Amino acid sequence: MPRPRQSAQTIPSMTATVPRELVHRAAVAETLLTGWSRTAPDRFHVSAQWPRSHELHVSSDRTAYDPLLVVETVRQSGTLIAHTEYDVPLGHHFVLNEFQVETFPQHLAVGALPAEPAVEVAFTDVQYRGARPAAARYTADVLRAGELVAHADVAFTCLSEPVYRRLRGGRTPALASDVPLRPGLPPTGVDRVLPADVVLAPTDRSDRWQLRVDTAHPVFFDHPLDHVPGMLLLEAARQAARWWTDGKRAPVGYHARFHRYAELDSPTWIELASEDGAELQVVGRQGESTIFECLVGTAGR
């Protein structure tokens, strides 16, 4: 595997965030990373900061970080390194294929200052098309004060804008139409405060919900998209697990496989496929197609 270049912009640590374009965010407030450096061939140290308050990723009593904040931090870390160290051009689209993460909630408490975790990233498989990476897999250990907060394994594909547009068959954010929002589940049942943050609507089956896709949501749709983002699908899996266990169990791990784009103009159905002890299998479907599958690991509250 070719070695990544040593970026002239490598920054071990900053008192501000990295450029938001490097992590595919429009809002500086949603940019979690503060620096990076290469520590060995294909190995990198990424620094981050987690806010003490967040609409989605900090508990309503401001005592705990949600595991999905870890997921977003790891996602941003891989995107940052792909751009800065593997020469993936800005403007390329990243397609998430698989995301597996296990978190340790005892290390996710909110303290008196914003948490400053470190992410140790190792790119384990980079596939090239010509001189540019076309796909990659990486692992990430998230550390806080030397304690292991989470371990993740991620696989993604890189697409140039022309290839992406051909793949999307002319779909663009401007042309996308939304499925009307149905009333959601009670917010307290999915560990949310605001009804606008509830992403599941009830159906006539207790183990099946319709995904609520609000393209004006400032976190899930930080910028215009022509499809349902992966983080919204993971939030749906999170809320399904919360609701199904009646709040008695909290999601602490996810193993998601993304099979195809979830389109904005078609209803997406979230189903509980199986339950085995502390693990719940959640599936997302559009029509006859499976969009994603996610094994949610839970722990008692």
Query: Three-state secondary structure along 209-265?
Result: EEECCCCCCCCCCCCCCCCCCHHHHHHHHHHHHHHHCCCCEEEEEEEEEECCCCCCC
* Angle, alpha carbons 155-156-159 (nearest 5°): 165
Question: What is the predicted pLDDT for the residue at 12?
Answer: 54
When the pLDDT of each residue in the chain is averaged and rounded to a whole number, the result is 94
Residue % of the chain over a pLDDT of 70: 95
Residue positions counted in the chain: 301
Cα–Cα separations (whole angstroms), residue 13 to 67, 106, 115: 23, 26, 14
CA separation for the pair 238, 34 (Å, rounded): 27
Q: Which residues contact 36 (CB under 8 A, 6 or more apart)?
A: 10, 11, 12, 18, 44, 45, 46, 47, 77, 80, 81, 84, 85
Q: Which of 78, 92, 8 is nearest to 48 (CA)?
A: 78
Domains annotated on the chain, with CATH: 20-166 (3.10.129.10), 171-300 (3.10.129.10)
Averaged pLDDT, 21-43:
97
Predicted confidence (pLDDT) at residue 281 exceeds the cutoff of 70: yes
Q: How confident is the model at residue 8 (pLDDT cuts 50, 70, 90)?
A: very low
Q: Which of 239, 292, 258 is nearest to 66 (CA)?
A: 239
Question: What is the predicted pLDDT for the residue at 2?
Answer: 43
Cα–Cα separations (whole angstroms), residue 123 to 85, 96, 153, 235: 11, 15, 10, 26
Encode pLDDT of 160-204 as tens digits. 999 999 999 888 887 777 899 999 999 999 999 999 999 999 999
Q: What six digits make up the tokens of 51? A: 């806010």
Averaged pLDDT, 257-271:
97
CA separation for the pair 272, 159 (Å, rounded): 32
In this structure, are residues 170 and 114 in contact, taking their beta carbons and an 8 Å threshold? no
Encode pLDDT of 136-147 as tens digits. 999 999 999 999
Predicted confidence (pLDDT) at residue 1 exceeds the cutoff of 70: no
Pairing label, strands 93-103, 43-48: unpaired
Q: What six digits make up the tokens of 15? A: 């008192």
253 half-sphere exposure, CB direction, 13 A CA radius? 19
Predicted confidence (pLDDT) at residue 10 exceeds the cutoff of 60: no
CA separation for the pair 233, 229 (Å, rounded): 7
Backbone region of residue 30 per phi and psi (left: phi > 0; alpha: psi in -120 to 50; beta: other values): alpha
The string over 266-285, giving b where at least 16 C-beta atoms fall within 10 Å of a residue's C-beta and e elsewhere, is: eebbbbbeeeeeeebbbbbb
Specify burial of residue 162 (Cβ count, 10 A radius: 0-12, 13-18, 19+).
exposed
Element containing residue 272 per DSSP (H, E): strand 269-276
CA separation for the pair 244, 60 (Å, rounded): 20
Q: What is the rounded (10 degree) CA torsion for 246, 248, 250, 253?
A: -90
Rg (CA), the chain: 19
Taking the model in full, what pTM does it have?
Answer: 0.93
Question: What is the predicted pLDDT for the residue at 176?
Answer: 76
Of 2-16, 91-105, 271-285, give the lowest mean pLDDT range.
2-16
β partners of residue 214:
none
